Chain A
Amino acid sequence: MSEKELKVQEKQLVQQENEETKPEKYFVPAVDIFETDEQVTVVAEMPGVKSTGVDVSLEDDVLTIRGHREEDEIDGRLLLQEYESGSYLRRFTMAETIDRDKIRASMSGGLLKVELPKAAPAQPRRIEVQAG
């Protein structure tokens, strides 16, 4: 399976309901999401984003991953442009209950990895009925 040829995936611009005040381009990063018994892991492609430019937040079961890319300055004339660069933004609604305090995010080689440990299932509480 790993022998197949990679194909070009066109970058998609984020369709936003509200407009940004800053004219910044946001692209939809490609993601892998997988789940084990303990946690949900989100891996997103964010080339050019440094670990300081990443912003991960979980609000009302909506996970937002945002990667801010600094403009790279190149001294020169553009001869060929096959891709555009910009920041990345994507939102997901989480179906599971996540332990917010234990969310970890790491960035390496242009890949953002967010680990979201599941919260321990709420223990059923027995309510004693007292005979009276």
Chain B
Amino acid sequence: MALIRFTERPHFRNPWAEFERIRRGLDELSQNLISEGKMHMHATVYPPLNMYENADSLIIKAELPGVQAEDLDISVEGDTLTLLGKRKAHQEEEQTSYHRREIEAGNFSRAIALPTKVDLDKITAKLVDGVLTITLTKADEVKPRQISITT
């Protein structure tokens, strides 16, 4: 009979080790998704929008490079914001040969449901460096109200 010293005995495989490894991997994956993607959604209608909310306003941002302010039409009806516009192709000169055409020209229209009621008289929009920012003030009835405590 061969004698094996206690410390040199073969390492027994833990049958659950593989599951443990998978669990750790999944934890890591979900952690990364939470921290990085947040609520990143893929827009299906142009233009992709980002929306922010604070105590008294809603802010909507969209990247619209090459779109002129006069070609944009923003309207709010009830709680639906509609964004219409067009991007013109830049003027073509004679005898131009294109090597790459990745920037498209065309029309777009997008409607988005606003999460709260807004004050229709206090809507501002600005287009700076190709980024559109629409600021909508929330209607008075949905604004948070400070309640003072009387003692």
Is A31 in contact with B63, judged by CB distance below 8 angstroms? no
Is B103 in contact with A76, judged by CB distance below 8 angstroms? no
For the complex, is A10 an interface residue (Cβ under 8 Å from B)? Answer: yes
Is A76 in contact with B42, judged by CB distance below 8 angstroms? no
For the complex, is A84 an interface residue (Cβ under 8 Å from B)? Answer: yes
Stretch of A1-9, A57-65, A98-106, A119-127 lying at the B interface: A1-9
Bound complex: CA of A118 vs CA of B98, how far in Å? 16
**B102 proximity list for chain A (CB < 8 A):** 9, 30-32
Is A82 in contact with B43, judged by CB distance below 8 angstroms? yes
For the complex, is B143 an interface residue (Cβ under 8 Å from A)? Answer: no
Q: Which of A30, A49, A74, A110 has the most CB of B within 10 A?
A: A110
For the complex, is B51 an interface residue (Cβ under 8 Å from A)? Answer: yes
Is A8 in contact with B54, judged by CB distance below 8 angstroms? no
* Smallest CB separation, B33 vs chain A (Å): 13
- B55: nearest chain-A partner, CB-CB: A76
Q: What per-residue 1/0 map shows which CB atoms of B93-127 lie under 8 Å from chain A? A: 10111111111111110000001000000000001
For the complex, is A89 an interface residue (Cβ under 8 Å from B)? Answer: no
Given A50-B129, A109-B65, A34:B98 Cβ within 8 A = yes
**A5 proximity list for chain B (CB < 8 A):** 46, 106-108
- B132: nearest chain-A partner, CB-CB: A47
Is B103 in contact with A80, judged by CB distance below 8 angstroms? no
For the complex, is B24 an interface residue (Cβ under 8 Å from A)? Answer: no
For the complex, is A130 an interface residue (Cβ under 8 Å from B)? Answer: no
Is A109 in contact with B130, judged by CB distance below 8 angstroms? yes
**B45 proximity list for chain A (CB < 8 A):** 8
**B90 proximity list for chain A (CB < 8 A):** 32, 43
For the complex, is A129 an interface residue (Cβ under 8 Å from B)? Answer: no
Q: Which of A75, A79, A80 has the most CB of B within 10 A?
A: A80
Bound complex: CA of A109 vs CA of B129, how far in Å? 4
- A80: nearest chain-B partner, CB-CB: B51
For the complex, is A46 an interface residue (Cβ under 8 Å from B)? Answer: yes
For the complex, is B40 an interface residue (Cβ under 8 Å from A)? Answer: yes
* Smallest CB separation, A20 vs chain B (Å): 17
For the complex, is B131 an interface residue (Cβ under 8 Å from A)? Answer: yes
Given A30-B103, A33-B98, A47-B64, A8:B51 Cβ within 8 A = no
Is A77 in contact with B44, judged by CB distance below 8 angstroms? no
User: Which A residues contact B (CB, under 8 angstroms)?
Assistant: 1-10, 30-37, 43, 45-50, 72, 74-85, 107, 109-111
**13 A-B pairs whose Cβ atoms sit less than 8 Å apart in the complex:** A1-B105, A7-B46, A8-B42, A9-B102, A9-B104, A34-B97, A34-B98, A36-B95, A48-B63, A74-B59, A78-B51, A79-B52, A82-B49
Additional 10 contacts, C-beta under 8 A, given A78-B50, A80-B51: A6-B108, A8-B48, A9-B104, A32-B100, A32-B101, A33-B98, A35-B97, A46-B130, A76-B53, A110-B130
